[in-house]
Amino acid sequence: MPDQLLVFAAPETDARIAVCVVPKLAREAAGRHALAPGSASALAQALAGTVLLAASDRRPPQARVDVQLECGGPLKGLLTDADASGAVRGLVRVNGLDRNGARAAAGEAGPGEPLRRFDPRPVFASGLDERAGVLSIVRAEPGSDELHRAAFPFAGADLGAALTLFLRNDRARGGEMALEVLFRPGEPLAAVAGALLWAQGEEGADELSALGKPLRQRVLHQSMLRVDLGDGSGDASALAEELARALRLGPLQLEGEVKPRFACRCSRDRVVRALATLGRDELRDMAARDHGAEASCDFCGARYGISAAELLQLAGDEPLLA
């Protein structure tokens, strides 16, 4: 099944629900960074949460949402960004963590065992006092240099609950988010899903907020199992219908679809523009000492080579190429 993000209206309860199913996206991100299972699961949750934020916000498709987490646990932090078209990327600060928060050992047994639920506490939280971290959300509108930033304490390990806190403060209609990763031996990202529930009008926000805790604690997890999401037979539509039944939202009406995908904004031109901000002497030194420059993208791993001649052109020693 392809990755999907579907947005539904539930007219009987004056609600909307967005559901994303993104195992392929999560696996591609994990592969690009060679992530161990714990680091991969944490990033998978963040990718799902960020694309839900971007797709549910009534802004231009190119409007970007950045989520940055600094936490007290062994993961130390992560960074993701997405736009409403479904383009998303991300990275974690520590790549090699197992699900217990320790450095990963080699290998897991083959598939075939029942699905298990990823517990993010050993990865996100400190084992001693769950020292509070910081969750920052930055929104950027296309064509504007103005950034909208919000920051909240991150205590514990529930990223869905932390993003819910942001939604309750940022949007008049609020929002309740839940994020889940299911795994089995040999399949660290067997199923990755997220759900975001919010009111169509401000008057219904308080009533729907009561559904957030059960959604995060059990409803999303149980619904993923009921629709066989980890076995490839379930999809976002089936998951949305099961969530609506469990939460008593009433019949759903499909309003929109987004195709989540790993997409990076890096380019050779961005590297050249960054180098152009350096001083002439520094550019000349790089050309003479290193015979050029090389940069790699932390998000996607792409590498860009800049020749010594190009560095000298940037320094003003030769005419720029037409």
Q: pLDDT tens digit string along 178-187?
A: 999 999 988 9
- As a whole number of angstroms, the distance between CA 178 and CA 254 comes to 20
Asked if 98 contacts 104 with a C-beta cutoff of 8 angstroms, the reply is: yes
Residue whose structure tokens are 């002497």: 281
288 Cβ contact partners less than 8 Å away, ≥ 6 residues apart: 308
Q: Using DSSP, state whether 95 is helix, strand or coil.
A: coil
Q: Confidence band (pLDDT; 50, 70, 90) for 108?
A: low
pLDDT of residue 134: 92
pLDDT of residue 155: 80
Among 13-22, 29-38, 185-194, 302-311, the least confident range = 302-311
Q: Which residues of 155-165 are buried (b: 16+ CB within 10 A; e: fewer)?
A: bbbbbbbbbbb
Neighbours of 285 (CB within 10 A): 14
Average pLDDT, rounded, for the chain:
88
Query: What does the pLDDT look like over 121-174, one tens digit per residue?
Result: 999 987 665 566 899 999 877 666 677 889 988 988 899 999 999 998 888 788
Q: Confidence band (pLDDT; 50, 70, 90) for 317?
A: confident
- Residue 112 scores a pLDDT above 60: no
Asked if 309 contacts 318 with a C-beta cutoff of 8 angstroms, the reply is: yes
Asked if 126 contacts 70 with a C-beta cutoff of 8 angstroms, the reply is: no
Asked if 104 contacts 97 with a C-beta cutoff of 8 angstroms, the reply is: yes
Among 17-21, 28-32, 273-277, the least confident range = 273-277
Asked if 101 contacts 38 with a C-beta cutoff of 8 angstroms, the reply is: yes
CA torsion through residues 153, 165, 28, 188, sign: positive
Q: Confidence band (pLDDT; 50, 70, 90) for 322?
A: very low
Q: Using DSSP, state whether 74 is helix, strand or coil.
A: coil
Q: Is 154 exposed, middle or buried (0-12, 13-18, 19+ CB in 10 A)?
A: buried
Q: Which residues of 215-227 are buried (b: 16+ CB within 10 A; e: fewer)?
A: bbeebbbebbbeb
CA distances from 306 to 245, 266, 302 (A): 56, 15, 13
208 Cβ contact partners less than 8 Å away, ≥ 6 residues apart: 13, 15, 174, 176, 197, 198, 199
Q: Confidence band (pLDDT; 50, 70, 90) for 258?
A: very high
- The per-residue DSSP string of 241-305 comes to HHHHHHHT----EEEEEE--EE-----HHHHHHHHTTS-HHHHHHHHHHHSEEEEE-TTT--EEE
- Residue 109 scores a pLDDT above 60: no
Q: Confidence band (pLDDT; 50, 70, 90) for 62?
A: low
**Strand ranges in 84-232 using DSSP code E only, listed in sequence order:** 87-92, 116-117, 133-140, 147-154, 176-184, 187-199
Residue whose structure tokens are 């490839």: 232
pLDDT of residue 298: 85
Q: Confidence band (pLDDT; 50, 70, 90) for 211?
A: very high
Q: Confidence band (pLDDT; 50, 70, 90) for 237?
A: very high
pLDDT > 90: percent of the chain: 55
Q: Which of these, 123, 188, 189, 182, lies nearest to 157 by C-alpha position?
A: 123
Asked if 125 contacts 55 with a C-beta cutoff of 8 angstroms, the reply is: no
pTM of the model: 0.88
- Residue 47 scores a pLDDT above 50: yes
